[in-house]
């Protein structure tokens, strides 16, 4: 049992294997330099047995209006349009977001610009990139009026996604510094979740500047369907209920399990008093890894209240006795 590779992936895999074989021969011959060179080639090729191409998860150049972006907070001046104070132009097209498009930000600002929700459930890797033009008060390396991003998986508790950014346009001694700059952040830690990201901006009580401007926000990644994650999982040989992720969750979660053979599977949700809430799967399924989303609704498509729920997986391979496995999950408000 293994993963199915396309012919191109198979060829790359074979090349990696050949380099590795050569490397091991080098090692036996005590030729360490050749061993390192060939091993590096092997690793590079293994990395390139890339199961899925890069795909766009989310993109917005702000040329089609505000969409599902929201903003708010104290002295919130996030505005969408063409800047007339700050950058000479947007990064792309006519529109970007800016903290006051035609003037400085205010003192004592504390505000946010929130992305639409982004579903990272099915990806094996994901990255966020955006273009930023940022002129804020920072003196001798200390940022008094910082811009940064934070992220949540439960729509409630936000955690910093990057450190606080200083201005990139505020040193007249260094020509050509700054302007529109691209920032890339790794979202790998948040795979398997639906996330919400926001730009945050804070200023202190003194000295204001043009502020932050944002354009071309892009989230991209690779699907996990035939990826490394699926490969690892399929190498297992046990029927196992892996549980749900995220857990606790508020709006949606995904339940993962593995079957060691083709079997009839029933996946049921019970509440803490033992009442059947919903049956997510009642079907014959293939051996291997499965992931089933649950949106927190009962069988009549009504949202269930917050609390403790149980996933019960009942697996019946052929005429044999069925296997029942139960796991607890917690739904927050
Ligand atoms: Ca734009
Ligand atoms: Ca202002
Ligand atoms: Ca300030
Ligand atoms: Ca401004």
Please tell me the predicted confidence (pLDDT) of residue 178. Answer: 65
Three-class DSSP category at 115: coil
Ligand 3 centroid vs 207 CA: distance in angstroms?
Answer: 4
Give the closest ligand to the alpha carbon of residue 169. 4
- Where are the alpha helices (H) located in the chain, listed in sequence order? 7-28, 32-48, 228-234
* Structure tokens given for 243: 């549980």
Question: What's the rounded Cα separation, in Å, for the pair 147 and 269?
Answer: 43
Average pLDDT, stretch 102-117? 97
How many CA within 13 A on the CB side of residue 227? 14
Q: 165 C-alpha vs ligand 3 centroid, how far in Å?
A: 14
Q: How far is the CA of 129 from the centre of ligand 1 (A)?
A: 14
Q: What is the whole-number distance in angstroms between the Cα of residue 221 and the centre of ligand 2?
A: 37
CATH class held by domain 55-223: mainly beta
Among all ligands shown, which has an atom nearest to the Cα of 98? Answer: 4
Peptide linkage before 11 cis (omega within 30 of 0): no
Segment among 26-35, 222-231, 305-314 with least mean pLDDT: 222-231
> What percent of the chain lies above the pLDDT cut of 70?
89
Mean pLDDT of 309-321: 84
For the stretch 49-78, pLDDT in tens is 766 778 899 999 999 999 999 999 999 999
200 Cα–ligand 1 center, Å: 19
pLDDT in tens, 244-298: 888 889 889 999 888 888 889 999 999 988 899 999 999 998 888 888 999 999 9
* pLDDT class of 170 with cuts at 50, 70, 90: low
**Considering the chain, what is the average pLDDT of its residues?**
87
Ligand 1 midpoint to CA 155 (Å): 27
How confident is the model over 6-11, as a mean pLDDT? Answer: 76
**Which pLDDT value is given to residue 230?**
37
pLDDT digits (tens, 9 = 90+) for 197-219: 999 999 999 999 999 999 999 99
The β-bridge partners of 311 are 269, 327
Give 91 Cα–ligand 3 centroid separation in angstroms: 25
Question: What mean pLDDT comes out for the span 97-113?
Answer: 97
Dist. CA 145 → ligand 3 center (Å): 5
Q: Quick one: fold of 236-331? A: Immunoglobulin-like (2.60.40)
Between the alpha carbon of residue 65 and those of residues 60, 80, 247, the distances in Å are: 10, 8, 35
Report CA(76)–ligand 2 centroid distance (Å): 9
Q: Name the DSSP class of 164.
A: P
CA of 217 to the centre of ligand 1 (A): 9
Per-residue confidence band for 300, with pLDDT thresholds at 50, 70 and 90: very high
């Amino acid at each position: 049992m293994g993963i199915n590779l396309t012919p191109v992936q198979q060829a790359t895999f074979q090349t990696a294997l050949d380099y590795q074989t050569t490397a091991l021969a080098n090692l036996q011959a005590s030729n360490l330099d050749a061993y390192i060179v060939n091993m590096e080639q092997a690793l590079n090729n293994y990395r390139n047995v890339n199961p899925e191409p890069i795909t766009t998860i989310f993109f917005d150049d702000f040329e089609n209006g505000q969409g599902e972006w929201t903003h708010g907070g104290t002295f919130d001046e996030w505005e969408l349009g063409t800047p007339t104070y700050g950058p000479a132009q947007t990064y792309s097209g006519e529109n970007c977001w800016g903290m006051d498009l035609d003037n400085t930000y205010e003192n004592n600002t504390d505000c946010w610009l929130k992305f639409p929700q982004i579903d990272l459930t099915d990806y094996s890797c994901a990255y966020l990139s955006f273009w930023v033009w940022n002129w804020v008060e920072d003196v001798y390396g200390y940022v008094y009026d910082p811009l940064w991003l934070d992220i949540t998986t439960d729509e409630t508790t936000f955690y910093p996604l990057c450190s606080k950014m200083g201005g990139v346009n505020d040193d007249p001694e260094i020509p050509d510094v700054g302007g529109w700059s691209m920032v890339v952040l790794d979202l790998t830690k948040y795979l398997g979740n639906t996330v919400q990201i926001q730009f945050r901006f804070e200023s202190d009580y003194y000295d204001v500047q043009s502020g932050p401007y944002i354009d071309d926000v892009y989230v991209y990644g690779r699907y996990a369907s035939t990826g490394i994650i699926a490969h690892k999982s399929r190498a297992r040989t046990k029927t196992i209920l892996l549980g749900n992720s995220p857990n606790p969750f508020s709006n949606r979660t995904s339940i993962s399990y593995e079957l060691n053979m083709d079997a009839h599977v029933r996946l049921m949700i019970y509440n803490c008093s033992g009442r059947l809430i919903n049956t997510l799967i009642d079907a014959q399924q293939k051996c291997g890894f499965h992931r089933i989303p649950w949106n927190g609704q009962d069988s009549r498509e009504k949202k269930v209240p917050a609390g403790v729920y149980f996933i019960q997986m009942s697996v019946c391979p052929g005429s044999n006795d069925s296997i029942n496995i139960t796991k607890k999950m917690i739904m927050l408000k």
